[in-house]
C-alpha cells in the first residue's frame, strides 16, 4: 500500500520567540506577548513563562499572578506576518501542496517533492534547519501519512520536536491518546465522551460506527475513522481568490426590462452575501449576459471603493447592462461578479484561528 507523506510544521512559542530573537535582553526570561486587539490577554508566552502556568488566551492579570516577574510585550503583527511569508517561501522549495493553517502552522504534502527525497522525515529535517538558519526561529515538525497524525506528531515533542508516526504504529499510538487530542473533539464533545466512558483513543476505537453516529451525528464517523488512523482529507493549498460571483440561467429566456432588473436585484443581494461570507473586498464589478444564441458579453466598472452594499452593486450592474444594450433580444443568463481583491495578503496566508467547536 502506498502512503502519503504529510508534514505539519508549527513554530515554537512563535510571537514570543520572535521577541526574544530581536531583543537579547528578553532571552531566557518569562515573557508574554499580547497584540493590540487582545490587549490585556496573553497571545502567547515564552517557554520560561509557560513553566509558571502562563498560557495563550489567559487574562494578563491571571498571568501576572502566576508569574509576578512576567514581562508583558506588545506584539508586532507586521513582523510576524513577514516571517510567516519568509517561511512559506522555504516550503515552496519543497512542494506546491502547502496548506497554511494559521500564521505559524502549515501542512505540506511531500509525497512528491521537488528535492526528490524519499522520506517525509528528510524534508522535515531540512525544513527545520532552514527555518533555523534563515529566521533564527525553532519549529517543531510532525511527519505521518495523514493530516490528523502529522499534527499530533508535531505537538508530541515540542519544542524543537521532530516526530514521525509510521503507519505500522499508528493505532498503538492513537490508543494511548486522550480523546481531546483527536481532531474535532473539543471540550464539549470531550465531556460528552467522558459521560459515555470514552477517555482514550483505545476506548474510542471499541465503539461501533452506529453508536458514534447515534451520539455525535456526522462527526461520529470521522471519530470512528480517526480512531483507526484513517483521515483522507487532502492538503488543500491556498489559492488566491480572484473573484466572487453569482449568476442565474433562466429556464425560459427573458427579454423584459422589468424582469431583468428583478434578476439583477436578486443577484446583487446574492453576490453581496457571498462577498461577506468570504471576507472578499473587491473594487471591480463585472456583469455578464448570455443571449439565447449563446453570444456572451461582459462589461466591467472599476472604482476606488470596495463593493459592500447591494444597492450600489445593483445601480452599477443596471448601468453596465444598459451599456451592453439588450435591445429586446432574449437572454438565457445574467451574472454579476466582484473582482480585483484588495489586501490579498491579509486574506491569504493568515487565516483566522479556527476553533473546532
Ligand atoms: P500557536 O502555534 O498555537 O502557539 P505558539 O506558537 O505560541 O506555541 P507552540 O510552541 O505551542 O506552538 O500559535 C501561534 C501564534 O499565534 C502564537 O505565537 C500567538 C498567536 N496566538 C494568539 O494570538 N492567540 C491564541 O489564542 C493562540 C493560541 C495563538
Ligand atoms: Mg506554534
Q: Are strands 331-341 and 243-254 parallel, antiparallel or unpaired?
A: antiparallel
154: its cell numbers = 508535531
- Calculate how far, in angstroms, residue 83's C-alpha sits from the geometric centre of ligand 2: 13
Distance CA 17, CA 23 (A): 10
Q: What is the pLDDT of residue 354?
A: 28
Q: Domains in the chain, start-ordered, CATH in brackets?
A: 1-147 (3.30.70.270), 170-226 (1.10.150.20), 243-341 (3.30.1490.100)
* Cα-to-centroid distance, 335 and ligand 1 (Å): 42
Helix (H, G, I), strand (E, B) or coil at 11: strand
Mean pLDDT over 130-151 rounds to 98
Ligand 1 centroid–CA 59 distance in Å is 15
Q: Which ligand sits closest to the CA of 14?
A: 1
Average pLDDT of the chain, as a whole number: 91
> Is it the case that residue 345 has pLDDT exceeding 80?
no
Closest alpha carbon to 321 in 255, 253, 251, 242: 255
- For residue 177, how many C-alpha atoms fall within 13 Å in the half-sphere facing its CB? 26
DSSP tag of 196 = T
Ligand 1 atom with the shortest distance to the CA of 57:
26
Q: How confident is the model at residue 347 (pLDDT cuts 50, 70, 90)?
A: very low
Q: Residue of the nearest CA to atom 22 in ligand 1?
A: 43
**Residue 356, pLDDT score:** 24
Q: What is the mean pLDDT of residues 73-93?
A: 93
Neighbours of 153 (CB within 10 A): 25
- 116 Cβ contact partners less than 8 Å away, ≥ 6 residues apart: none
Q: Which atom of ligand 1 is nearest to the CA of 105?
A: 2
CA quadruple 188, 191, 196, 198: dihedral positive or negative?
positive
Overall size of the chain counted in residues: 357
Q: How far is 128 from 120, CA to CA, in rounded Å?
A: 12
Nearest residue (by CA) to ligand 1, atom 12, is 12
What is the CB < 6 Å shell around ligand 1? 10-15, 35, 43-44, 56-57, 103-105, 158-159, 353
Quote the DSSP letter at residue 351: P
Q: Is the bond into 184 cis (omega within 30 degrees of 0)?
A: no
71-74 vs 282-291, strand pairing mode: unpaired
Cis peptide before 157 (omega within 30 of 0): no
How large a percentage of the chain has pLDDT more than 90?
Answer: 79
Task: Write out the three cell numbers for 288.
Answer: 455578464
- Give the DSSP H/E element, type plus range, for residue 151: helix 147-156
Cα 261–chain centre separation: 38
Q: Are 102 and 3 in contact (CB under 8 A)?
A: no
Determine the distance separating the centroid of ligand 1 and the alpha carbon of 105, expressed in angstroms. Answer: 9
Query: Of 11, 47, 56, 102, which is best to mutate to test ligand 1, by the most ligand atoms within 8 angstroms of its C-beta?
Result: 56
Q: What is the DSSP letter of 37?
A: G
Q: What confidence score (pLDDT) does residue 39 get?
A: 59
Q: DSSP class of residue 207? A: S
**pLDDT (0 to 100) of residue 327:** 86
Q: CB of 236 within 8 A of CB of 153?
A: no
Instruction: Write down the residue that cell numbers 424582469 correspond to.
Output: 259
3-state secondary structure at position 309: coil
- Taking CA atoms only, the protein residue closest to ligand 1 atom 21 is 43
Q: Which of 104, 181, 186 to mutate to test the pocket of ligand 1 (most atoms within 8 A of CB)?
A: 104
Tens digit of pLDDT for each residue in 187-245?
999 999 999 999 999 999 999 999 999 999 999 999 999 999 999 999 999 777 789 99
Query: Which member of 19, 48, 99, 105 is catalytic?
Result: 105
Which residue's CA is the closest to the ligand 1 atom numbered 4? 13
| Percentage helix, strand, coil for the chain under 3-state DSSP, each rounded to 5 | 45, 20, 35
Work out the average pLDDT over 77-92: 94
Cα-to-centroid distance, 77 and ligand 1 (Å): 13
Cα 138 to Cα 131: distance, rounded to the nearest angstrom: 7
- CA 193, CA 181: separation in Å to the nearest integer? 13
What's the pLDDT at 343? 60
Atom of ligand 1 nearest to the CA of 158: 10
Condensed to tens digits (0 to 9), the pLDDT of residues 240-284 reads: 778 999 999 987 777 777 789 999 999 999 999 999 988 888 999
Residue 355: predicted pLDDT: 25
Q: Measuring from atom 28 of ligand 1, which residue has the nearest CA? A: 56
Where does the pLDDT of residue 1 fall: very low under 50, low under 70, confident under 90, or very high at 90 and above?
low
Residue bearing the bigger pLDDT, 182 or 256? 182
CA distance 106 to 350: 11
- φ and ψ of 272, to 5 deg: -65, -40
Instruction: Tell me if residue 304 is catalytic.
Output: no
pLDDT single digits (tens) 138-147 = 999 999 999 9
| Residue 43 CA, ligand 1 centroid: distance in Å | 7
Atom of ligand 1 nearest to the CA of 35: 23
When mean pLDDT is compared across 39-43, 219-223, 322-326, the lowest value belongs to: 39-43
Amino acid at each position: 500500500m502506498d502512503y502519503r507523506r504529510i508534514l505539519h510544521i508549527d513554530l515554537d512559542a512563535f510571537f514570543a520567540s520572535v521577541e526574544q530573537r530581536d531583543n537579547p535582553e528578553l532571552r531566557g526570561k518569562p515573557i508574554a506577548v499580547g497584540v493590540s486587539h487582545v490587549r490585556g490577554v496573553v497571545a502567547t508566552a515564552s517557554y520560561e513563562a509557560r513553566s509558571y502556568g502562563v498560557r495563550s488566551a489567559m487574562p494578563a492579570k491571571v498571568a501576572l499572578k502566576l508569574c509576578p516577574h512576567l514581562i508583558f510585550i506588545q506584539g508586532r503583527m507586521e513582523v510576524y506576518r513577514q516571517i510567516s511569508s519568509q517561511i512559506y517561501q522555504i516550503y515552496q522549495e519543497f512542494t506546491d501542496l502547502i496548506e497554511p493553517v494559521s500564521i505559524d502552522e502549515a501542512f505540506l504534502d511531500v509525497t512528491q517533492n521537488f528535492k526528490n527525497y524519499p522520506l517525509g522525515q528528510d524534508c522535515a529535517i531540512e525544513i527545520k534547519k532552514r527555518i533555523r538558519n534563515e529566521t533564527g526561529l525553532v519549529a517543531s515538525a510532525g511527519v505521518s501519512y495523514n493530516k490528523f497524525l502529522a499534527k499530533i506528531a508535531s505537538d508530541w515533542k515540542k519544542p524543537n520536536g521532530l516526530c514521525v508516526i509510521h503507519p505500522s504504529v499508528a493505532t498503538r499510538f492513537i490508543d494511548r491518546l486522550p480523546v481531546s487530542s483527536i481532531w474535532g473533539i473539543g471540550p464539549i464533545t470531550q465531556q460528552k465522551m467522558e459521560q459515555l466512558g470514552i477517555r482514550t483513543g483505545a476506548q474510542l476505537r471499541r465503539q461501533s460506527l452506529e453508536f458514534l453516529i447515534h451520539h455525535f451525528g456526522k462527526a461520529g464517523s470521522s471519530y470512528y475513522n480517526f480512531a483507526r488512523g484513517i483521515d483522507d482529507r487532502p492538503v488543500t493549498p491556498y489559492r488566491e481568490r480572484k473573484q466572487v460571483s453569482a449568476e442565474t440561467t433562466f429556464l425560459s429566456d427573458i427579454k423584459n426590462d422589468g424582469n431583468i432588473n428583478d434578476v439583477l436585484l436578486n443577484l446583487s443581494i446574492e453576490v453581496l452575501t457571498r462577498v461577506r461570507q468570504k471576507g472578499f473586498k473587491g473594487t471591480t464589478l463585472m456583469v455578464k449576459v448570455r443571449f439565447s444564441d449563446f453570444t456572451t458579453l461582459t462589461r466591467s466598472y472599476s472604482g476606488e471603493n470596495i463593493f459592500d452594499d447591494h444597492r450600489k452593486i445593483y445601480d452599477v450592474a443596471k448601468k453596465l447592462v444598459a451599456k451592453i444594450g439588450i435591445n429586446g433580444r432574449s437572454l438565457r443568463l445574467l451574472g454579476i461578479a466582484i473582482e480585483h481583491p484588495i489586501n490579498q495578503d491579509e486574506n491569504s496566508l493568515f487565516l483566522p484561528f479556527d476553533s473546532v467547536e
